[in-house]
Amino acid sequence: MVSLGEYDVGIIGGGIAGIYAGYELSKLNPSLKVILIEQGENIHRRSCPIVAHKTKECISCASCAIMRGFGGAGAYSDGKYNFTTEFGGWLRDYLPEEEIMELIHYVDSVNVGFGATEVVYSTQSAEATALEKRALENDLHLLQAKVKHLGTENNLNILKNIYEYLKDKITLVFNTAVTEIKTASDGYLLETSGGQVRCRYLVAAPGRSGAEWFSAQCNKLGLDIINNQVDIGVRVELPAKVFQHITDVVYESKLVYRTKQYGDMVRTFCMNPYGHVVTENVDGLMTVNGHSYSNPALRSENTNFALLVSNRFTVPFKEPYKYGKHIASLSNMLGGGVLVQRFGDLVKGARTNEHRLSQSFVKPTLNATPGDLSLVLPKRHMDNIIEMIYALDKIAPGTANYDTLLYGVEVKFYSSRPQLTPSLETNLPNFYAIGDGAGITRGLAQAAASGVIAARSIAGKVKGV
* Of 385, 400, 299, 382, the residue nearest 342 (C-alpha): 400
Angstrom CA distances, 130 to 125, 248, 298, 395, 396, stand at: 9, 13, 31, 11, 14
Quickly name the fold that domain 3-121+146-226+415-463 has: FAD/NAD(P)-binding domain (3.50.50)
pLDDT at 223: 94
CA dist list (Å): 234 to 275, 289, 390: 16, 9, 15
The C-alpha atoms of residue 145 and residue 351 are separated, in whole angstroms, by 38
Cis preceding-peptide flag for 296 (omega within 30 of 0): no
CB neighbours of 301 closer than 8 A, spacing ≥ 6?
239, 240, 274, 363
Nearest to 178, CA basis, from 68, 71, 73, 321: 68
3-class secondary structure, 15: strand
Question: How much is the pLDDT for 208?
Answer: 80
**Which class for 258: exposed (0-12), middle (13-18), buried (19 or more C-beta within 10 A)?**
middle
Give me the amino acid identity at 146. Answer: K
Q: What pLDDT does residue 418 have? A: 92
Q: Taking the CA of residue 325 as centre, how many other CA atoms within 13 Å lie in the half-sphere pointing to its CB? A: 15
Predicted local confidence at residue 259, as pLDDT:
96
pLDDT value of residue 225:
83
Q: 161 near 147, Cβ under 8 Å?
A: no
DSSP string, 226-276: EPPPEEEEEEEEEEHHHHHHHHTT-SS--EEEE-TTT--EEEEEEEETT-E
Instruction: Map out the domains of the chain as residue ranges.
Output: 3-121+146-226+415-463, 230-412
pLDDT per residue, tens digit, the chain (465 aa), is: 567 899 999 999 999 999 999 999 999 999 999 999 999 999 988 877 665 555 556 666 666 777 789 988 777 777 888 999 988 889 999 999 999 999 999 999 999 999 998 988 877 788 888 999 999 999 999 987 788 877 777 888 999 999 999 999 999 999 999 999 999 999 999 999 999 999 999 999 998 888 889 989 999 999 988 766 778 999 999 999 999 999 998 888 889 999 999 999 999 998 999 999 998 887 778 889 898 887 888 899 999 999 999 877 666 666 777 788 889 899 999 888 899 999 999 999 999 999 999 999 999 999 999 999 999 999 999 999 999 999 999 999 999 999 999 999 998 766 678 999 999 999 999 999 999 888 899 889 999 999 999 999 999 999 876
pLDDT of 439: 86
Tally Cβ neighbours within 10 Å of residue 165: 14
Residue 31 has a CB neighbour count (10 Å cut-off) of: 7
pLDDT value of residue 227: 66
What is this structure's pTM?
A: 0.85
For 39, how many CA atoms within 13 A lie in the half-sphere containing its CB? Answer: 24
Please state, in angstroms and rounded to a whole number, the distance separating the CA atoms of residues 392 and 266. 11
pLDDT for res 311: 75
pLDDT at site 1: 56
